[in-house]
Structure formats: C-alpha cells, structure tokens
Amino acid sequence: MEIRQLVSFKEIVEQGSFSKAAQVLNYAQSSVTSHVRAIEEFYERPVFDRLGKRVVLNSFGEQLYHMVLPLLAGYDDLCALKQEVGEPAGPLRIGVPESTMLYRLSPVIKEYKLLYPGVDIIMQNSICPVMRRLLREGKLDMAILLDRVVEEDELVCRSIFDEPMCVVLPQEYPADELINSPAHAILYTEAGCCYREIFAQLLAKQGIETGNIIETASVEVIKQYLLCNLGVSFLPEVVVRKELEVGKLRAIPWKSIDPVRVQIVHHKDKWISPAMAEFIRLLEAASLAWE
C-alpha cells in the first residue's frame, strides 16, 4: 500500500463519497476508486459496503480508519520536517471554542499571519471534550481549551489565563440576583460545554427552576437573546463586556477555587513544528495583556 491510497480512503470516509473525495484531493474519481481497490486487494476483504449508490464503512473498514488516522497525522509531521529550517509554513490545525475564537484570538491571528503568511490556519470550533478526542486521534495539531483543568495521560496541558465568568441578566430582569422568573428562559450553551455544567450546578444550588430552556452552540446567539430579554445565561465576561459597560446587560461575577481557564493543549507525542511553536509563543505573549 501507498500513503496516497490511505489518504484517499480517509477522505472518502470523511466526505461521504468517492466523488467528493476526488474533488477535495484533485484526483480523477477513477484514481480514488483504484486506491480503494488496492487497499481491498492488499487485505483481501472489502472496506466499504456498497449499498446502491451509497458507500458505508463496514466493521473492518471502521477498524482500518481508526488505525489510519494517527498514521497520517504522523505522515503530516514527517512532511513538516521540511519546514524545520526557515520560515514556518504548511497547515496548522487548531481547535478553539467560539468565545475564545471571537474575543481573544483576533489580534494573535492577525500578527501571526503578518509574520507567517505561508501557514494555513485551519480552525475548528467545538466543545472541549470533542477537541480532546480530536487531539488524541491526531486530527488537530493543538487546541485552545476554555475549561477547568482536566489531567489526561495522552495530552499535555498548559494553563495561560483564568477567564472571568459571570451570570448575565437582561436589563429588564426583575432582580439583581438569580430568582425564579417564569418570563425568562435558561439560556444554555450546548451539552458538553464546561460552563454550561457550572451554570446548571449553580442554578440547582440556588433552587432555580429549569423547565424553560433554550439551548444553542453559539454564544453570539445567546448574547442577542439576552439583549432581547429572553432569559439569563452564564458566559465569559469578555463576551458581554461592551454591553455591560453601556448598561444594556447586567452581570453577577462568578468566583471559584477551580476557575475556567484558557489552556494550550496538544498530544504528548505530537511534534511541535515551527508553525505550532510560533503560534503558542504569540498566544502566550498576548495573554499577558488580557484583563
């Protein structure tokens, strides 16, 4: 087998079809098909079930796919060695939660791209448990997590900033603290988000009813709903700072001995490429100026 055949196999799985994989890889569809045929001939068994016009991974294909992921991640690192001397270049895959991406990273990205235009920054917005899994599977080079510190044997974690969090109230909320207000929904971030869990615990501790819920993955949507007097939420203070300053929203600061932290995380066996090392350097320098 050849690396290109495994690359085609991985892309078919992730794109969901031979034709889409061929487009992404800039191959003729016949080339992608021949790559899969070579894999199946090598193993003397199929990797896909062909159900009419659909192709679906069979059990052997699933096993092969999960073994191919770290192999191809290592291959990317091998290719990146070419850039070890000289200016950082090539793809840099970073996982980032939405609030950090929107309100913390813009100056870092701007400076980084001015310095290293040859690096293709590929950012993926997701919740922390998903990003940890993607790091373990080799699908991300690094992640910037917004979470409480979680020790994992496979991952290296470096905390750089304790992110201030707060309970956010609309201007029309009938109290300066959380109360049972039937007119106001609980505005939750998506399940798996660490500060949703903190908010749920806080509500339970104060006996707040949670039968009226609105859930969304977007902190920007939550902020707009707060401005529309739809409910209350729990967010990083930086997300609503401008609205608090002009009096459009109100906030109750949250303090804990186990704070929510901005963390740089990567796999313990991940080679720190020049592109990755420079991004970490700029991010740590920028965090010193965060309030």
Report how far Cα 230 is from the mean position of its chain's Cα atoms. 27
Q: Which of 44, 70, 57 is nearest to 17 (CA)?
A: 57
Q: Give the span between the Cα atoms of 48 and 36, in whole angstroms.
A: 9
Q: Give Cα 225 to chain centroid, integer Å.
A: 23
Domains assigned to the chain: 3-81 (1.10.10.10), 84-163+260-287 (3.40.190.10), 165-254 (3.40.190.290)
Strand partners, 213: 186
Would you give per-residue pLDDT tens digits along the chain (291 residues)?
789 999 999 999 988 888 988 998 889 999 999 999 999 999 999 999 877 777 888 999 899 999 999 888 888 777 766 655 557 888 999 999 999 999 999 999 999 999 999 999 999 999 999 999 999 999 999 999 999 998 888 999 999 999 999 999 999 999 999 999 999 999 999 998 989 999 999 999 999 999 999 999 999 999 999 999 999 999 999 999 999 999 999 999 999 999 999 999 999 999 888 899 999 999 999 999 997
**Rounded to an integer, what distance in angstroms lies between the CA atom of residue 237 and that of residue 72?**
39
Contacts of 56 (CB under 8 A, 6+ apart): 48, 49
